[in-house]
Structure 1
Amino acid sequence: MIGYLRGTVSHLFADYCFLDVQGVGYRVFIPYSTRQKLSAGNSAMLFTYLHVREDALLLYGFSSQEEYDLFLQLLSVSGIGPKVALSIMSAASPQEFRRAVSQKNIALLTRLPGIGKKTAERIIVELKDKMNQELDASDNPESFIQNGTGHDNGRQEALMALMALGYSQAELMPVIRKVTDGTESAEEIIKRVLKEFGRR
């Protein structure tokens, strides 16, 4: 599984881009929210999901871990495939979608592309608890990762490294807030967070 790609955006289209990684051009399908953050000729890092079909290998990319996580959650719902998941994410932000699910707002969900009433009901049944947990943790992880200081990159790096170890974003964010003030290095943050988890 390809976890992420870092390279230069060589071409940008409506629902995909070509990402040049050391001379290899990857076609990566992207939601509208990610597309808005990309521009041809500039470098980018995308969290990626490889979808394997009998006739093709399709790569989907996202500008944030939050978008990637939501994509996987949508795929876990019976009847929702990558194309529908991408369409949903292009029509609503992760925060808007979580609120709709948490509030059991079927009317709003059925306005999203590819979602009928039965699918909306299935989404609520299968994802409501997860959405509630994530809303309780934080609507936007960037609110504590980025506060205008040059040292906050440590929080971003630590978050990504700890999630790679199997921890979820929802359980990590409150702990990172508790044990840091935004000036620590990624290594120090990881040590503190693991120590905090060890006390539980």
Structure 2
Amino acid sequence: MTPIDPAARANVHLIDHPLVQHKLTLMRKKEASTNSFRRLLGELSSLMAYEVSRDMALQDVVIETPLETMTAKVIDGKKLVFVSILRAGNGILDGVLSVVPGARVGHIGLYRDPNTLQAVEYYFKMPKNMEERDIVVVDPMLATGNSAAAAVTRLKECKPKSIKFLCLLTCPEGINTMYKAHPDVPVYTAAIDRELNSHGYILPGLGDAGDRIFGTQ
């Protein structure tokens, strides 16, 4: 089993809220239907969005309550961008957007070469003015870490204010790869599983997230 670099482990935020852990366990079950898997992913993503947005900047606005005028806090959701790594990342979008509906959405298409396990880009579409925005990259799995690292490298070309990575599951190999490539990008996850198998799948994991979200094989 690959050990986790201590510095890399310190860069990982484990979201261990009981509801998050409960829903993740239900998703792991092989008998979970496509419908239930997709529904649970939306619910779990919403819960994780609260944690990943915990340090979002607030600004003061003046409002009228039914009784008087006051100064209150709001976030500017339009400055936040959720970037989905296609295709499985799209399964997380509904959940996070239910919490921050004003956020913008970007997409980056990457596939993993079955021989080299390296990421190959085929699509890239982002909102305008990325240098003014904070990015949260979403993908259910941080496995080998190659696709995630490649996505973040590409996104850094847009010069955003900050980047975070949000996933359901990761493992020592993925954590180490991401930290080696991008030590400035924190990882938010619901679980750190044991290891990768020879095909680059997380063990014990939950199978292929994209196939389980979309009902494909």
Under a length normalisation based on structure 1, what TM-score does the superposition of the two structures give?
0.24
Query: Structure 1 or 2: larger strand share?
Result: 2
Under a length normalisation based on structure 2, what TM-score does the superposition of the two structures give?
0.23
Query: Structure 1 or 2: larger helix share?
Result: 1
Higher relative contact order (CA 8 A, sep 6+): 2
